């Protein structure tokens, strides 16, 4: 990828989420929901897959940059907000979804189910918002 091209996903954020990768955070970030869910329930395939992913992240980052639509909503900010403040809906407010953000704030991310839903769908939600501005 050319250095001048704007990337949708960041290696730094990917590795930061990899630290919590035994819960699948980095895999969800790169749009790999099924393996992210498997990592979540198996603690990163008993930490073995987690260690292997240390070397796979650059490839996952390139694939995500090709797959997802860049725009006014930053993937990196959204994912960091979801990962660390998702139960409070801050990521939804950042994306302009104020009503659901306030609902998440009052209900703990709809009792955690909305939080999990957003791990599965956040990349697509951001791509839709970013694609609608063009």
Rounded to the nearest integer, the mean pLDDT of the chain is: 93
User: What's the longest Cα–Cα distance across the chain?
Assistant: 43
Please tell me the pTM assigned to this model: 0.89
Nearest in space to 54 (alpha carbons), one of 15, 11, 5, 105? 15
* Cβ proximity of 66 and 89 under 8 Å: no
Contact 31, 43 (CB under 8 A): no
Percentage of the chain beyond pLDDT 90 is 87
Higher pLDDT, 7 or 64: 64
Q: Is 121 helix (H, G, I), strand (E, B) or coil?
A: helix
Residue with tokens 């260690």: 51
Write the CB contacts of 24 (distance below 8 Å, at least 6 apart in sequence).
Answer: 35, 36, 37, 38, 39, 40, 44, 119
Does position 6 have pLDDT exceeding 90, yes or no? Answer: no
Q: What residues contact 70, with CB distance under 8 A and at least 6 apart?
A: 6, 7, 8, 130
Task: Give the E-state strand segments of the chain in sequence order.
Answer: none
With contact defined as beta carbons under 8 Å apart, do 99 and 33 qualify? no
pLDDT computed for residue 20 by the predictor: 77
Instruction: List the structure tokens of 100.
Output: 């659901």
pLDDT value of position 37: 94
């Amino acid at each position: 990828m050319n250095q001048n091209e704007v990337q949708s996903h960041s290696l730094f954020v990917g590795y930061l989420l990899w630290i919590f990768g035994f819960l699948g955070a980095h895999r969800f970030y790169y749009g790999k929901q099924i393996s992210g869910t498997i990592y979540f329930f198996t603690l990163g395939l008993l930490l073995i897959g987690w260690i292997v992913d240390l070397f796979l992240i650059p490839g996952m980052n390139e694939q995500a940059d090709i797959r997802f639509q860049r725009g006014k909503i930053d993937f990196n900010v959204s994912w960091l907000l979801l990962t660390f403040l998702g139960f409070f809906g801050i990521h939804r407010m950042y994306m302009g979804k104020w009503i659901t953000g306030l609902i998440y704030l009052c209900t703990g991310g709809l009792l955690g189910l909305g939080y999990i839903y957003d791990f599965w769908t956040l990349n697509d939600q951001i791509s839709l918002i970013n694609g609608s501005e063009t």
